[in-house]
């Protein structure tokens, strides 16, 4: 049976053999091992009886006296696999286990159990230097997306930005010129890529505001257990595309190096074609530059398989839209951007009242209202201003403070004043 010795035990074996051969005294050996002579005699006795195995620690291969019982571990493992604790970390899970089950387990023990059960992935150590990353094996495994703000027309005409998507495995490129770098323009390019190639497995982009947000999650997102999302993050989640944020420009080197080539070759091509508008530039991309890129700069991936997935069953026009939710009132109306809308009677269904509808502002400018997968008919209604209560008219006063309408000479009020003046005379 194979027997492995530690470095300390190997050193002891060497000294024991030196003692056997008479090359060193027992007192010197005990001093080198930093043990007493009495302990050394015990070690020599065990060596004579068992050989090198007698030098091993007596607790080897024995269960620890402080080992947690198997029954307790079984309860903890069953507890961690409940659906309510899917996103719990070791620290919180160990605290919850103690509160609910009365079982006290350290967070380190819980971390080891979760790792063994596949419920926790140990965090990788931070690497302070960059390493070369091999391309993905097949097309569609990962695409990189970014925007280049550059003087593409060299001052000849419109200002434009170039939004590009490049496949990590083959460097196949799709890019489009737009006037601005916004959520809508990035959605437009991404939708075009999906219609042409299908859904990639992962999407690699930087932390621009249309890809990631720093806002706090809304109450609805908190109830759903989600973090705050941008419109593009929501669209990627609906399409089952993994979003990978890049922590630096160097991390997405494929698309960054692509832009270096484009800022050289494409600018010169646009100059030679005397192009000065976005429409002409996009036509040049389709007819001249992208076919040239495919011939010269793409390469065959290591594997012939295509990891892109079909977009069948996904309404890309609806997914790549700006979406907001609104609540339907008791009279089947909802408010949106300062206006109120009435849902048509033909679209009213059970459960619609006091529920949430989704407003879709699509890239082509049209607006749709969706509820549980159904699109509703609606119309704008005028906003009624609340009528102000009529105030009772007060008698108008002159500058001196007296009433504007003076009583007549024969008015009883004047007669009363005359009698009072007469009575006061002596």
Per-position pLDDT tens, the chain of length 426: 566 777 777 878 888 888 888 888 888 888 887 889 898 888 888 888 888 877 777 777 777 777 888 888 888 888 888 876 776 778 778 877 887 888 888 888 888 888 888 888 877 765 545 566 788 989 999 999 999 999 999 999 889 999 999 999 999 999 999 999 999 999 999 999 999 999 999 999 988 888 888 888 888 878 877 888 899 999 999 999 999 988 776 777 788 889 988 988 898 889 889 999 999 999 999 999 999 899 888 999 999 889 999 999 999 999 999 999 999 999 999 999 999 999 999 999 999 999 999 999 999 999 999 999 999 999 999 876 555 555 555 555 555 555 556 777 777 766 655 555 555 455
Measuring CA to CA, how many Å separate 361 from each of 46, 91, 141, 189?
84, 43, 30, 17
The pLDDT, as a whole number, for residue 209 is 86
**What's the chain look like in SS3?**
CCCCCCHHHHHHHHHHHHHHCCCCCHHHHHHHHCCCHHHHHHHHHHHHHHHHHHHCCCCCCCCCCCCCCHHHHHHHHHHHCCHHHCCCCHHHHHHHHHHHHCCCCCHHHHHHHHHHCCCCCCCCCCCCCCCCCCCCCCECCCEEEEEEECCCCCCCCCCCEEEEEEECCCCCEEEEEECCCCHHHHHHHHHHHHHHHCECCEEEECCCCCCCCCCCCCHHHHHCCCCCCCHHHHHHHHCCCEEEECCCHHHHHHHHHHHHHHHHHHHHHHHHCCCCCHHHHHHHHHHHHHHHHHHHCCCCCCCCCECCECCCCCCHHHHCEEEEEEECCCCCEEEECCEEEEECHHHCCCCCCCCEEEEEEECCCCEEEEECCEECCEEEECCCCCCCCCCCCCCCECCCCCECCCCCCCCHHHHHHHHHHHHHCC
CA-CA-CA-CA torsion sign (211, 215, 218, 222) = positive
Report the pLDDT value the prediction gives residue 390, as an integer from 0 to 100. Answer: 59
Q: Are 200 and 308 in contact (CB under 8 A)?
A: yes
pLDDT the model gives residue 415:
65
Determine the pLDDT at residue 310: 93
Other beta carbons within 10 Å of 299: 10
- pLDDT on residue 30: 84
Residue 101 tokens read as: 């089950």
pLDDT score for 97: 85
Instruction: Give dist(CA 288, CA 234) in Å, integer.
Output: 34
pLDDT value of residue 5: 75
Angle, vertex CA 135, rays to CA 194 and CA 132, nearest 5: 135
Q: Are 212 and 232 in contact (CB under 8 A)?
A: no
Assess contact for 322 and 212: CB atoms under 8 A.
no
174 touches 196 (CB < 8 A): yes
What are the CA-CA distances from residue 218 to residues 226, 229, 230, 231, 327 (Å)?
9, 10, 12, 14, 15
Q: Report the CATH superfamily, name and number, of domain 143-217+224-296.
A: Ribonuclease H-like superfamily/Ribonuclease H (3.30.420.10)
Q: Which two tokens stand for residue 36?
A: 């007493």
What's phi and psi for 397, nearest 5 deg? -110, 150
pLDDT at 288: 92
What does pTM read for this prediction?
Answer: 0.59
Q: What is the pLDDT of residue 405?
A: 67
- Whole-angstrom distance, CA of residue 228 vs CA of residue 98: 31
Rounded Cα gap, residues 32 and 173, in angstroms: 70
Biggest CA pair distance of the chain: 156
């Amino acid at each position: 049976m194979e027997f492995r010795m530690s470095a300390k035990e190997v050193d002891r074996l060497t000294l024991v053999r030196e003692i056997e051969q008479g090359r060193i005294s027992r007192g010197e050996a005990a001093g080198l091992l930093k043990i007493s002579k009495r302990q050394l005699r015990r070690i020599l006795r065990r060596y004579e009886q068992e050989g090198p195995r007698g030098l091993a620690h007596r607790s080897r291969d024995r269960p620890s006296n402080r080992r947690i019982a198997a029954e307790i571990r079984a309860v903890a493992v069953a507890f961690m696999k409940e659906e309510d604790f899917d996103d719990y970390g070791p620290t919180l899970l160990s605290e919850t286990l103690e509160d609910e089950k009365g079982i006290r387990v350290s967070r380190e023990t819980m971390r080891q159990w979760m790792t063994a059960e596949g419920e926790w992935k140990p965090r990788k150590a931070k690497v302070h230097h960059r390493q070369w990353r091999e391309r993905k094996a097949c097309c569609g495994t990962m695409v990189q997306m970014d925007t280049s703000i550059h003087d593409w027309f060299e001052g000849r005409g419109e200002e434009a930005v170039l939004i590009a998507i490049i496949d990590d495995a083959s460097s196949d490129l799709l890019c489009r010129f737009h006037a601005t770098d916004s959520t809508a323009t990035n959605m437009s390019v991404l939708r075009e890529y999906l219609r042409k190639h299908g859904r990639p497995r992962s999407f690699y982009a930087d932390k621009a505001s249309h890809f990631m947000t720093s806002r706090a999650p809304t109450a609805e997102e908190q109830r759903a257990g989600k973090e705050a999302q941008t419109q593009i993050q929501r669209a990627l989640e609906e399409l089952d595309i993994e979003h990978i944020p890049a922590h630096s420009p160097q991390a997405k080197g494929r698309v960054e190096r692509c832009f270096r080539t484009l800022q050289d070759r494409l600018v010169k091509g646009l100059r030679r074609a005397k192009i000065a508008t976005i429409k002409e530039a996009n036509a040049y991309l389709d007819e001249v530059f992208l076919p040239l890129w495919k011939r010269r700069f793409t390469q065959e991936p290591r594997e012939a398989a295509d990891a892109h997935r079909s977009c069948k069953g996904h309404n890309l026009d609806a997914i790549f839209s700006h979406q907001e939710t609104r609540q339907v009132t008791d009279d089947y109306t909802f408010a949106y951007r300062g206006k109120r809308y009435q849902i048509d009677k033909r679209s009213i269904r059970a459960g619609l009242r006091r529920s949430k509808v989704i407003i879709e502002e699509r890239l082509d400018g049209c607006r749709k209202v969706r509820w549980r997968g159904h699109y509703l008919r609606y119309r704008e209604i005028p906003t009624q201003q609340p009528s102000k209560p009529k105030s009772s008219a007060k008698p108008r006063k002159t500058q001196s403070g007296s009433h504007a309408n003076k009583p007549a000479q024969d008015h009883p009020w004047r007669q009363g004043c005359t009698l009072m003046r007469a009575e006061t005379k002596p």
